[in-house]
Amino acid sequence: MLPNYLLFKILVFGVQKLQIYLDTNIIYGFFKSIAELVFKGRKYTENKRLKLIESSADKIDAMTSFFTLVEVVERLKRDYKEILPSQISSLIEFFRKTFCIKIIEEILLTDRVLFFVLHGMGWKDSIQLEIAKNGNFLLITEDKNLKTLGRKFYKSVYDFKGLLFLLKRL
């Protein structure tokens, strides 16, 4: 069953694309696979989640934010000490050109972020939730804590399995 607000939108406005916001853990695998290839000589593994999002472009408008890219940069620098800033910039540019995922370049944060943190969420997860909530996007994450706590404050938090379920019903 689709969430009530999605059913309402479909009934009133007709079938529309799902507006989804991708958490860092959904896109990081793409960057990790390339870094593993370059720095450790491992075989490149295609990111099946991003490929599915691409193949569902008729049903999905996918986006993430510059904040997500900041998290990706931080993690790449932590996991691959030898990676250069120019290499990270190239990876980000390659990501932008490869996938039809809009990058939100301006975000509005409210004091809800503080509220979320006070109620047990990490500050990065709180910002991701705030971005999704402000845009009225479905937040797609594999972070169990974000999914569990986030749903207390915003009903449109799903894991990838939940997204697949919604796509089948469109």
CATH number at residue 159: 3.40.50.1010
* pLDDT value for 169: 84
- Considering its fold, how many domains does the chain have in total? 1
Which strand ranges, in their side-by-side order, compose the sheet holding 60-65?
101-104, 60-65, 18-22, 138-140, 157-158
Residue 8 lies in a domain: no
Residue 7 lies in a domain: no
Residue 68 lies in a domain: yes
Residue 12 lies in a domain: no
d(CA 23, CA 136) in angstroms, rounded, equals: 14
d(CA 115, CA 113) in angstroms, rounded, equals: 5
Per-residue tens of pLDDT for the chain, all 170 residues: 556 655 555 555 555 789 999 999 999 999 999 999 999 999 988 889 999 999 999 999 999 999 999 999 999 999 999 999 999 999 999 999 989 899 999 999 999 999 999 999 999 999 999 999 999 999 999 999 999 999 999 999 999 999 999 998 87
d(CA 130, CA 111) in angstroms, rounded, equals: 10
* pLDDT value for 46: 87
Nearest to 62 by CA among 103, 3, 105: 103
Residue 37 lies in a domain: yes
Instruction: Give yes or no for a contact between 139 and 24, defined as CB atoms under 8 angstroms apart.
Output: no
Residue 11 lies in a domain: no
Question: Is the whole-model pTM more than 0.85?
Answer: yes
Contacts of 143 (CB under 8 A, 6+ apart): 23, 25, 125
Residue 134 lies in a domain: yes
* pLDDT value for 3: 64
Domain that holds residue 160: 19-168
Residue 1 lies in a domain: no
